[in-house]
Amino acid sequence: MFIHREGYSTLKKLGVGLGALCTGALLFLPRPLLRWVLLTSIIIFGFFTQFFRNPIRRTPDSDTAIIAPADGTIVAIEPTHESEYFRDQRLKISIYMSALNVHLNRVPVTGKVVYNRYHPGLYLVAFHPKSSELNERNTVVIERKDGQPVLVRQIAGILARRIRYYLREGQPVRAGDELGFIKFGSRCDVFLPLNAQVKVRLQDKVKGGESILAEI
């Protein structure tokens, strides 16, 4: 288990602040209250540390599989009109990431980035039906070597205030590579052809870079 680089600054600042708090408690508080402050500080630091964890994942080697771009729960599998890039009907698979999930996002297919756009927006709860269109978000389209495009959309949630995206247009990528990072509760949508063979069900738990969402 590793800590992702997105967490270095946050954890450093948090460690300094909690360290100062514990030092003050050691100097000025009675022992019963000191124990409470120390325990609370450990819990807080542990929570933020697990949020920025970067586990090793074994990405399936498949030319047909669509790999989950994020850890979380499947909250939608439905045909919908994708209005930004395809402008037609697509199969949408949505993954909701709670604050306890890994928030590093991964590339779902091997290919080339053909589209990458960031959009500022609102901060509706990530599972809201309109969050894919109205929230702060970043859209990436990756074209496989067979010409099949797959769209991934990072969507900020009510607590998320920063989407990190690492890819650029024209960049070759492999399934499982780092795509980006969203801090705190958020969501990832994947848009596929309507004839994609779905391998997950609603409320399934998936792992980014490892679980197979569908096959094309």
**Structure-token match 């039906």, residue found:** 129
- Assess whether 83 carries a catalytic annotation: no
pLDDT at 153 over 90: yes
Q: Of 31-35, 40-44, 131-135, where does the model show the most confidence?
A: 40-44
The CATH class for the domain spanning 65-215 reads: mainly beta
Which residues contact residue 71 at a Cβ distance below 8 angstroms, ignoring those fewer than 6 apart? 95, 97, 101, 102, 103, 206, 207, 208
Q: Please tell me the predicted confidence (pLDDT) of residue 59.
A: 96
Q: Which of 41, 94, 186, 211 is catalytic?
A: 186
Which residues make beta-bridge pairs with 180?
A: 105, 165
What is the reported pTM?
0.87
Report the chain's mean pLDDT, rounded to a whole number.
Answer: 90
